[in-house]
Amino acid sequence: MISLRKNLAVTLCLSMLLSFSYVEAQSKRKRKKDAKTEQAKPKPAPKKKGKIKDYDKVITKDAITDDGLFKVHQVGEKYFFEIPNDYLDTDMLLVSRFAKLPSGLGGGYVNAGTKTNTRLVRWQRFKNKVLIKEKSYSAVAQDSLPINISVQNNNYEPTLYAFDIQAISKDSTAVVIDVSSFYGTDVKALSGLPSRFRKQYKVRNLDKSRSFINSMKSFPENIEVIQDFTYNASEPPVNTGDESISVQMNQSMILLPKDLMQPRYFDERVGWFTLSKYDYSSEKLKADRKTYIRRWRLVPKDIEAYRRGELVEPIKPIVYYLDPATPEKFRSYMKEGVELWQKAFEAAGFKNAIIAKDPPTKEEDPDFSPEDIRYSVIRYVASTTRNATGPSVSDPRTGEIIESDIIWYHNHLRSYRNRYLLETGAANPSARTLDTPESEIGEMMKMVIAHEVGHTLGLPHNMAASYAYDVENYRDGAFTQKNGIAATIMDYARYNYIAQPGDQNIRFIRQLGPYDDYAINFGYRYYPGTNSADAERTILDQLVSSKAGDPKYMFGSQGSRFDPRSQTEDIGNNSIKASTYGLSNLKIVAANLPQWTSDQTNNYEDLGELYGEMLGVWNRYIGHVTSHVGGVYEDTQNPSQGGNVYTMVPKAEQKAAMQWLHKNAFVSPTWLVDKNILNKIDYAGYTERLRGLQARHLNRLLSFETLGRLIDYKALDASNYSALEMLRDLRKGVWSEANFGQNVTVYRRNLQRAHIDQLGNLMTGEMNRRFSRKYYNVNQSDVRALVRGELNVLKQRLRTASNSAVNTETKYHYRDCLERVNSILDPK
């Protein structure tokens, strides 16, 4: 029985286990089946980022809309652009500039109104995105030519930002994108802080909690965005404890014309700001480099009257508005300075081509803003910087100037007052005061504005224009009243420093001249019937060629510093003669400086300032003569005109310049060391300041560039002044005391040591490829051999001189110089 019960129990247990296993297996099968069924069921699709929504869900009933170039919508804290399809793949200009900024940011030339970026952009659709692409026209080809494919492939344009399309307009003619992040975050394409600022001020990042979009406004052809950005920075320019830099940026985006202005070719014989591009459509064996001038688009209202030679108003004149911040007393002078150019435009056949206006009132134009790219403005900047500038914005496709802002810094007139006193005070009684008459200050301001307007019209500096007039003409009252002091306002010729005491009816301040009429005629004359830049080329060449040989129409680039006729701050056709007159006047000013300043103010602040600037005037007069040594004339001309473009300054003129320098620059300048001035303004440093000035001109003579030009031109023509002759003439003059057994003053001792030091630099130094205009291998040139020879001659002279010197200081000086020479010749 027991056995049977055991068997029944075992059987029952096995049965239960089998039953459990079966149930478990069935359960697993069910779970698997259920899982398969679950997987087979379609899940709801996850919401895709960037999915296009219904228009009303994006641009809600709460949207604030401004209609213009694009519709701009504000919905809560977000901003949207509604971009018409017609404006996709359309050229626009994106201009970034400061609207407000902290004092001292970037130094003296960064201010409200300063541009930080200018980019040509296009909005392009790509699938469900809109891209903003930066486009370049530096390389072009005709669309119909196969090479245009290669031009596009090898000039791929960067994408500045990619936007998801949020919605499509109800009529399907526009796309809606969210631009909040583009304008509200630190996008480098828009930033006012370039990498050098970020490094200088140790900028860490943009503080999003203190940064926001201030406003967006849409106008028919432009959109204006104001951003307030605050950056975390370890070393900000001001309020260093805050570790913050706050700026307000203005972003202007303007539609560029679909009807392109006909470009005009640049002629290097006439000065213009330019743009260049490489045209691969050329049939030649290389791409054509085409250079066009930058200019405003002026088209006469009445073409037939213009053809007849009548003066005609342009369809759209050039208009400048004054900054609302401009002091009332200066406004008339500024407007006159702008409209002085009306006469020059008459030479091109236009009347009332350029106009100046007061800033509109809120009632006249509630949207007026100096940052708005629709307006050209003369910005008045509260800054201690002493300058004015004339930048502009132009269409990179054609050179058409779209807008410009002239910058006038508040303290600039102080520089003009000071130079007026220093450069004309000897011959001009009204300049002998710190309180210059307002009428004369106004005349100066008018001419500075005219100069800056010239830049905004497309004209660069023309440093050869003052060479047009004979030096003696500057002492002729009738001549100066008619012609001023240069053939153009675009030269750095500010005052007549040649006129001498007793000369009558002299004009001391610059004015516009015949070159200005000529240049405006070249750039702005409208030629009906010419439908391409090539069609105008022959006409313009004839115009320029007709003026060849007349110094009034000569152009001298500011970069041609090797040409003594093309210098900054000089006047007259003979620098040696002009600087002689200038120094004669400056000596009179130096003797009277306390009387004209501190005696009137009962303090020494102005005396110290003017004395420092007087040394600068002396430095300029000397520099004008130094440039003759190793100088080269640059006469830009076409092959058909004949003659050379580059000609060495005649030998006799170079030797005369060297003699003049020994007499006026390298002597002991005792008249500049006036104890009645120096012991009132500084406690030390008197001899060092003069050493630095004299050494500057000595080093220019003993530069690799000067020696290289002398060696080159001697190789071309044996009659030219040679490097060896120059080195000998310089040594004999600098060390004249050693030849005659004379004692040496402290100023001359400093100069002589500077001479040895610079010869040492020539023996061991190298030219800097980056900064040298004409690099050459110094070590394999004649330079070292010539300098070594001069050092050996000087060594023999010093041995003799050191033994015969009577004055102890002179004896010690010669012995020291001998050791210096020995260490150069035998450094071991």
For 5-26, the DSSP string reads HHHHHHHHHHHHHHHHHHHHHH
Within-domain flag for 352: yes
Asked which of 142-156, 344-358, 459-473, 751-765 is least confident by mean pLDDT, the reply is 142-156
Per-residue pLDDT tens digits for 548-581:
999 999 999 877 789 999 999 999 999 999 999 9
Within-domain flag for 300: yes
Write down the residue that tokens 């602040």 correspond to: 605
For residue 450, which of 330, 552, 297, 339 has the smallest C-alpha distance? 339
**Within 13 Å, how many C-alpha atoms sit on residue 722's CB side?**
12
β-bridge pairing 288-293 and 274-279: antiparallel
Q: Assess whether pLDDT exceeds 80 at residue 31.
A: no
Q: How high is the mean pLDDT of the chain? A: 91
Residue ending a domain, choose from 568, 596, 624:
596
Within-domain flag for 773: yes
Within-domain flag for 271: no
Q: Where are the beta strands (DSSP E) in 127-243?
A: 129-134, 139-140, 159-168, 174-178, 203-206, 212-218, 222-233
Q: Assess whether pLDDT exceeds 90 at residue 321.
A: yes
Cβ atoms of 101 and 109 closer than 8 Å: no
Is residue 40 very low, low, confident or very high in pLDDT (cuts 50, 70, 90)? very low
pLDDT value, residue 147: 84
| Residue 816 vs residues 61, 217, 802: alpha-carbon distances, Å | 89, 73, 9
Q: Assess whether pLDDT exceeds 60 at residue 310.
A: yes
pLDDT value, residue 50: 54
Q: Assess whether pLDDT exceeds 60 at residue 25.
A: no
Q: Assess whether pLDDT exceeds 70 at residue 34.
A: no
Residues 6+ apart with CB under 8 A from 622: 579, 661, 664, 665, 693, 697
Does 636 lie in the same domain as 576?
no
What are φ and ψ of residue 735, in 5° steps?
A: -110, 30
Per-residue pLDDT tens digits for 518-534:
999 999 999 998 999 99
Instruction: Return the SS3 of 327.
Output: coil
For residue 618, which of 586, 649, 578, 575 has the smallest C-alpha distance? 586
What are φ and ψ of residue 265, in 5° steps?
A: -65, 145
Query: C-alpha 756: how far from its chain's center?
Result: 37
pLDDT value, residue 17: 40
- Of these ranges, 37-41, 196-200, 555-559, the one predicted with the greatest mean pLDDT is 196-200
Buried b (16+ CB within 10 A) or exposed e, 296-313: bbbebeeeeebeeeeebb
| pLDDT, average across residues 241-259 | 93
Residues 6+ apart with CB under 8 A from 494: 416, 419, 423, 509, 510, 569
| Residue 246 vs residues 210, 250, 454, 607: alpha-carbon distances, Å | 9, 13, 34, 38
Does 617 lie in the same domain as 575?
no
Cβ atoms of 797 and 738 closer than 8 Å: yes
Asked which of 21-30, 593-602, 773-782, 783-792 is least confident by mean pLDDT, the reply is 21-30
Asked which of 150-159, 521-530, 727-736 is least confident by mean pLDDT, the reply is 150-159
What are 497's two structure tokens? 């420093």
| pLDDT, average across residues 45-59 | 75
Does 73 lie in the same domain as 177?
yes
| Residue 336 vs residues 135, 339, 346, 443: alpha-carbon distances, Å | 39, 5, 16, 9
Q: Assess whether pLDDT exceeds 70 at residue 38.
A: no
For residue 608, which of 620, 619, 600, 597 has the smallest C-alpha distance? 597
For residue 358, which of 342, 336, 373 has the smallest C-alpha distance? 336
Domain with 797, as residue range(s), is 600-828
CA angle 565, 268, 318 (to 5 degrees): 100
Distance separating the N- and C-terminal Cα atoms of the chain: 126
Within-domain flag for 508: yes
Is residue 614 very low, low, confident or very high in pLDDT (cuts 50, 70, 90)? very high
**Alpha helix (H) ranges present in 75-131?**
none
Alpha-carbon gap, residue 805 to 795, rounded angstroms:
15
Q: Assess whether pLDDT exceeds 60 at residue 42.
A: no
Instruction: Return the SS3 of 120.
Output: strand
Instruction: Give the H or E element holding residue 249.
Output: strand 244-255
Q: Assess whether pLDDT exceeds 50 at residue 741.
A: yes
Alpha-carbon gap, residue 725 to 716, rounded angstroms:
16
Does 118 lie in the same domain as 220?
yes
Within-domain flag for 537: yes
pLDDT value, residue 140: 87
| Residue 621 vs residues 428, 592, 650, 660, 686: alpha-carbon distances, Å | 19, 20, 21, 12, 20
For residue 398, which of 286, 258, 288 has the smallest C-alpha distance? 258
Is residue 43 very low, low, confident or very high in pLDDT (cuts 50, 70, 90)? very low
Alpha-carbon gap, residue 686 to 750, rounded angstroms:
12
Residue ending a domain, choose from 579, 596, 613:
596
% of the chain with per-residue pLDDT over 90: 78
Asked which of 24-28, 252-256, 629-633, 639-643 is least confident by mean pLDDT, the reply is 24-28
pLDDT value, residue 669: 87
Does 661 lie in the same domain as 539?
no
DSSP state at residue 828:
-
Alpha-carbon gap, residue 322 to 96, rounded angstroms:
21
Alpha-carbon gap, residue 563 to 631, rounded angstroms:
6
CB-based contacts of 782-787 (< 8 A; 24+ apart in sequence) = 782/711, 782/723, 783/704, 783/707, 783/708, 783/711, 783/723, 786/707, 786/723, 786/724, 786/727, 787/727, 787/759, 787/762, 787/763
Amino acid at the residue 237: P
| pLDDT, average across residues 67-80 | 96
Helix axis angle, 514-524 to 533-545, nearest 10°: 160
Within-domain flag for 824: yes
DSSP state at residue 665:
T
Cβ atoms of 298 and 526 closer than 8 Å: yes
Does 313 lie in the same domain as 182?
no
Within-domain flag for 758: yes
Alpha-carbon gap, residue 659 to 721, rounded angstroms:
14
pLDDT value, residue 109: 81
pLDDT value, residue 498: 98
Give me the DSSP letters along 719-765.
TSPPHHHHHHHHHHHHTHHHHHT----HHHHHHHHHHHHHHHHHHH-
pLDDT value, residue 8: 39
Does 330 lie in the same domain as 227?
no
For residue 321, which of 362, 379, 373 has the smallest C-alpha distance? 379
Does 653 lie in the same domain as 800?
yes
Instruction: Return the SS3 of 117.
Output: strand
Does 511 lie in the same domain as 624?
no
Write down the residue that tokens 């002239």 correspond to: 406
Cβ atoms of 174 and 85 closer than 8 Å: yes
Is residue 141 very low, low, confident or very high in pLDDT (cuts 50, 70, 90)? confident
Does 658 lie in the same domain as 581?
no
pLDDT value, residue 5: 43
Per-residue pLDDT tens digits for 376-403:
999 998 888 888 888 899 999 999 999 9
Counted domains in the chain? 3
Does 418 lie in the same domain as 359?
yes
Alpha-carbon gap, residue 749 to 746, rounded angstroms:
5
| pLDDT, average across residues 661-679 | 93
Does 624 lie in the same domain as 575?
no
| pLDDT, average across residues 92-100 | 93
Residue ending a domain, choose from 596, 626, 654:
596
pLDDT value, residue 139: 85
| pLDDT, average across residues 729-746 | 93
Cβ atoms of 83 and 123 closer than 8 Å: yes
| Residue 207 vs residues 76, 160, 212: alpha-carbon distances, Å | 21, 21, 10
Per-residue pLDDT tens digits for 509-518:
999 999 999 9
